Structure 1
Amino acid sequence: MNEEKVSSRVIWSIVAAAILGFSGILTETSMNVTFPELIQQFHQSMGTVQWLTTAYLLVVALLMLTSAHFNAILSKRQTYMIGWIAFVVGDIIAIIAPSFWLLLFGRLIMAVGTGFALPLAFNVIFTSVPMSQLGKYMGFGTLIISLAPALGPVYGGVVTYTLGWRAIFMIILPVTIISLLIGWFNLDNQKPTSKNKFAYGQFILIGISLVSAILALGQLESGRLTAAIIILALVAIVAMIGFIQAAKRSTNQLIDVSVFRSKALVMALLIYATSQAINLAVNFALPQYSQLTLGTTTMVAGFILMPGSLLGSAVAPVYGSMYDRLGANKPLTWGSLGFLVVMIIFSVMAPNIATIGLTVVYVVFTLARNLTFSVAMTAGVAEVKPQQSGDVNAIFNTVQQFIGAVGTTVAALFIQTSGTTKAAIATQTATGFSHLIWFSTVIVAISLIWLVIYMKTKTAK
């Protein structure tokens, strides 16, 4: 059976947007290994420095929500250019930042660029690739983007160890210029005819909800349930209810909330969110454990993550093709069960695991986790009408970034230390890391319930 041909221009358009998204994720994941050094240089706590990742992911999440709107009013090239300019401006600010707070500001501007680039890559796939090849090209786009977390820790570790952390942002600039040249000549510049107005009220409500939720989690650093935590949690809940009600009543929706009527889509989204939260939590905590407990350098901490991340990226197209051939049930089942087994093994080893053990376990962890992660989004999109794919794309990408911020915040809470000596810090970090892995294992076990519900309610293949 002959497959419909995908033009080279579409392929290069995917590449251009994916490279810019790759650059954003590369800088985000590379920063994790620099935190012990940044803590010393800027005299900030782990709870403060982790906002370089948490706030970045939160801004990306909020920008993801706008992707469906911008897709309706801007050409793909225009969307790309907004993202590229924001990313480069933020990158330059980060290079010259004399203080932690200016560095954080630069990272937030870079997050705007990433927030435009990531959904654009998948929007090109959803709108230009036939359904018969959707899994393959989702795997192709995911491969490029997932190389970033594969290379990020190593890139950050080696560059910081040899040139200093500012070089992380200097070296990435030529990559963004290559992306610009590819995108300018290949991305479609035809502007849609939609006159859709931006739903400012809905955006403000969901923004308040997400920010309040992250701030509430951050307040748990005190170890007590304070009035501030309760108030922030209530604000998050009320604002989210307000957003849902406003979206239901409006003819101009920020995102189409009716897609949540599909129980299978909701379950696929929960599976997707679980795997992302745990992945970001482990990716944040592991370099801290490596440096603060095992006493490794930033370079070694980065290399621990490299084999697993590279293999995880390499199998992304394979997992996409697996969905095309087998549907969603088998890959999601194999991935979920494998993920649980790996997490149990990880939990048993965590209190005393050394460098080699971390490297090996992380390889298996990534292979199992990526199978559920890669298939869940495609499975969710398959549950809605083609005209709703842009909204589902925005939802999944928003959840990916927001839940990543949640995972990072939770990890920082588990591994925070109060010791004043290296020995005390090493012991407290090891204990917190072990507790984090056990907590994550329980969450993975719970996600099996969502898998069962998904398989009972899904309508797609």
Structure 2
Amino acid sequence: MNTTNQVSPSDPFDLSNIKKGPIIIAMIIGAFVSILNETLLSNALPELMREFSVTPTTIQWLTTVYMLVVGVLVPVTALLQQWFTTRQLFLSAMILFLIGTIIAAFAPAFSFLLVGRIIQAFGTGLIIPIMMNTILIIFPPEERGGAMGLIGLVIMFAPAIGPTLSGVIIDTLNWRWLFYIVIPLALISIIVGAKYLKNVSEITRPAVDVLSIILSTIGFGGFVYSFSKSGELGWGNAEVYCTLIIGVASLIWFIIRQLKIKDPILNLRTFKYPMFSITVVLIVIVMMAMFSTMTLLPMFLQGVLLVSAFKSGLIMLPGSVLNGFMAPITGKLFDKYGPRTIIIPGIVLVAVAMWMFIGIDVATTTGYIITIHCMLLVGISLVMMPTQTHGLNQLPKELYAHGTAIFSTLQQVAGAIGTALFISKMSSGQKDYLTQSENPNDPTEIVAALTAGFDSAFTLGFIIVLLAIVVSLFIKRTK
């Protein structure tokens, strides 16, 4: 199943005269506009449910499928970066993203909107690892904390600002403007990239293992699909557990094959480096907490506290702004003080925030919600980029592309699984409450059921983050 192009590896790329500024600017613009779309629809989900007459478990696919496609595509990017130049991949990614955005903006039905999101995700799946790998190549280890902090400003601020921006647009315009405003930004990114972006990668053109690509797609796809459908059908449904079994089996086969073949599409030998493995676990847990909360909180604000989409966005704005400003700061702190001083307090802060979310109800004030949300996003900013930088710093140069691909893959899959898992837990908690209710059609009981569902979901999140605290204790500074 291997296809090989007999081309000798290129000479090592000369980085001595490379201009870092224009490259980073081009990458940041493209990454911001694509990553923003991961959460841009979060406040619009209730409106889209009414527009297209679909259920919560169906509408969640607009978020889940975006992260799923990115997660499925990213493992292949390590291979693509050895076959195509940085410029070719970046421009292809942004053009794909632009096409998907246009389709979504003018979608006449839910199916068209979903297709547009899928095409957008193909673009995003290419951009994230290209950007991370470029940073590792053009910056030495002692400067990567600051550089990754700047990238973190995009990776963290873009999805965090999504709910706020969508709330403002939904209340003042309509949901299609969520895509209209992205079109000119994508065009600017393409123009800047075409003018300034230079290649920084070495083209070696290794063998392409088609079977590995198929196994990766089926594995990650089946795994996330089963979690997504579990909220609607239940774990006892044949469709759910069959796709889970197929996904897990494919992933196991994929892992075994990557360890055996000469040119793996995803070199899992990166996990031989202990600090890399520990940081991967932390990132998976934090991403589950972040994306699930970004999905649940607007639903709670609009469904239980009965605030508008605009006000819901404003409530989430302070945390989003703090999160963005903290990213460069945490990068500099990482360069100066090392990983433990930054990461462990960050994980603890995330756990405290998740614990405070438990028990929120119709009497909870918006000030209290803002406080918890700020704590959560500050904690996440202390964890995300320092953890990734520390993990990637452990790897030799030939594994950079594979390390960034693994991080990006597991982030997206964790986000998709976390969203699906928390939505599933919320739905089951809501159903359990209404089953025991004497008058399940009473509006008061419906709100109480929603509150019970959110309580169940946040309790699960708190338990998961406690595990991350234990893992973070094993982080240490290495040379």
Q: Which TM-score band (shorter chain)?
A: over 0.9
Does the Cα contact within 8 Å between 2:77 and 2:126 map onto a contact in 1? yes
Separation (CA, whole Å) in 2 of partners of 1:328 and 1:382: 11
Identical amino acids, percent of aligned pairs: 26
Question: For 1:144-192, what per-residue CA distance to the aligned partner results, in whole angstroms no more than 9, with x for missing partners?
Answer: 2322123211211111111100011111111112212221122114774
Match runs of 1:148-163 below 5 Å: 148-163=158-173
Bigger drift between 411-420 and 144-153 goes to 411-420
Match runs of 1:399-414 below 5 Å: 399-414=410-425
1:441 paired to 2:462 = yes
SS class of match (2:358): helix
Does the Cα contact within 8 Å between 1:351 and 1:431 map onto a contact in 2? no
Does the Cα contact within 8 Å between 2:90 and 2:130 map onto a contact in 1? yes
SS class of match (2:54): coil
Question: For 1:63-112, what per-residue CA distance to the aligned partner results, in whole angstroms no more than 9, with x for missing partners?
Answer: 21122112111111101111011001101100111000110001000001
Bigger drift between 400-409 and 341-350 goes to 341-350
Gaps of at least 5 residues in structure 1 are none
Separation (CA, whole Å) in 2 of partners of 1:293 and 1:7: 57
Which amino acid in 2 is paired with 1:250? I
- Residue number in structure 2 paired with 1:30: 40
Separation (CA, whole Å) in 2 of partners of 1:349 and 1:243: 42
Does the Cα contact within 8 Å between 2:258 and 2:267 map onto a contact in 1? yes
- Residue number in structure 2 paired with 1:166: 176
Gaps of at least 5 residues in structure 2 are 1-14, 432-439
Structure 1's 124 and 220: CA in aligned 2 closer, same or farther, altered over 3 A?
A: same
SS class of match (2:41): helix
Does the Cα contact within 8 Å between 1:93 and 1:102 map onto a contact in 2? yes
1:112 paired to 2:122 = yes
Which amino acid in 2 is paired with 1:375? P
- Residue number in structure 2 paired with 1:207: 217
Identify which of 448, 463, 467 aligns with 1:427. Answer: 448
1:307 paired to 2:318 = yes
Does the Cα contact within 8 Å between 1:13 and 1:182 map onto a contact in 2? no
1:229 paired to 2:240 = yes
Identify which of 61, 65, 82 aligns with 1:72. Answer: 82
Bigger drift between 409-418 and 158-167 goes to 409-418
Q: CA deviation at 1:193?
A: 3.5
- Residue number in structure 1 paired with 2:10: none
Identify which of 264, 284, 295 aligns with 2:306. Answer: 295
Structure 1's 189 and 379: CA in aligned 2 closer, same or farther, altered over 3 A?
A: closer
SS class of match (1:72): coil
Identify which of 266, 274, 292 aligns with 2:277. Answer: 266
1:356 paired to 2:367 = yes
Separation (CA, whole Å) in 1 of partners of 2:126 and 2:322: 27
- Residue number in structure 1 paired with 2:93: 83
TM-score, normalising length: structure 2? 0.90
Separation (CA, whole Å) in 2 of partners of 1:34 and 1:402: 22
Structure 1's 78 and 136: CA in aligned 2 closer, same or farther, altered over 3 A?
A: same
Structure 1's 8 and 150: CA in aligned 2 closer, same or farther, altered over 3 A?
A: farther
- Residue number in structure 2 paired with 1:321: 332
1:57 paired to 2:57 = no
Does the Cα contact within 8 Å between 1:18 and 1:144 map onto a contact in 2? yes
Separation (CA, whole Å) in 1 of partners of 2:25 and 2:332: 19
- Residue number in structure 2 paired with 1:240: 251
Separation (CA, whole Å) in 2 of partners of 1:264 and 1:173: 40
- Residue number in structure 2 paired with 1:20: 30
Which amino acid in 2 is paired with 1:122? M
- Residue number in structure 2 paired with 1:101: 111
Question: For 1:170-220, what per-residue CA distance to the aligned partner results, in whole angstroms no more than 9, with x for missing partners?
Answer: 111111122122211221147744122332211111211111111221232
Does the Cα contact within 8 Å between 1:22 and 1:146 map onto a contact in 2? no
Q: Supply the RMSD in Å over aligned alpha carbons.
A: 2.0
Separation (CA, whole Å) in 1 of partners of 2:109 and 2:117: 13
The total of aligned residue pairs comes to: 454
Q: CA deviation at 1:230?
A: 2.8
Structure 1's 284 and 421: CA in aligned 2 closer, same or farther, altered over 3 A?
A: farther
Bigger drift between 336-345 and 280-289 goes to 336-345
Question: For 1:17-42, what per-residue CA distance to the aligned partner results, in whole angstroms no more than 9, with x for missing partners?
Answer: 22222112222212011111111111
Which amino acid in 2 is paired with 1:387? E
Which amino acid in 2 is paired with 1:442? I
SS class of match (1:252): coil
Question: For 1:413-445, what per-residue CA distance to the aligned partner results, in whole angstroms no more than 9, with x for missing partners?
Answer: 133356766544422222111111111111111
Structure 1's 274 and 193: CA in aligned 2 closer, same or farther, altered over 3 A?
A: closer
Separation (CA, whole Å) in 1 of partners of 2:77 and 2:365: 43
- Residue number in structure 2 paired with 1:375: 386
Does the Cα contact within 8 Å between 1:267 and 1:454 map onto a contact in 2? yes
Separation (CA, whole Å) in 1 of partners of 2:124 and 2:408: 11
Q: CA deviation at 1:453?
A: 3.3
Structure 1's 400 and 430: CA in aligned 2 closer, same or farther, altered over 3 A?
A: same
- Residue number in structure 2 paired with 1:177: 187
Bigger drift between 344-353 and 211-220 goes to 344-353
Does the Cα contact within 8 Å between 1:157 and 1:301 map onto a contact in 2? yes
Identify which of 263, 276, 285 aligns with 2:287. Answer: 276
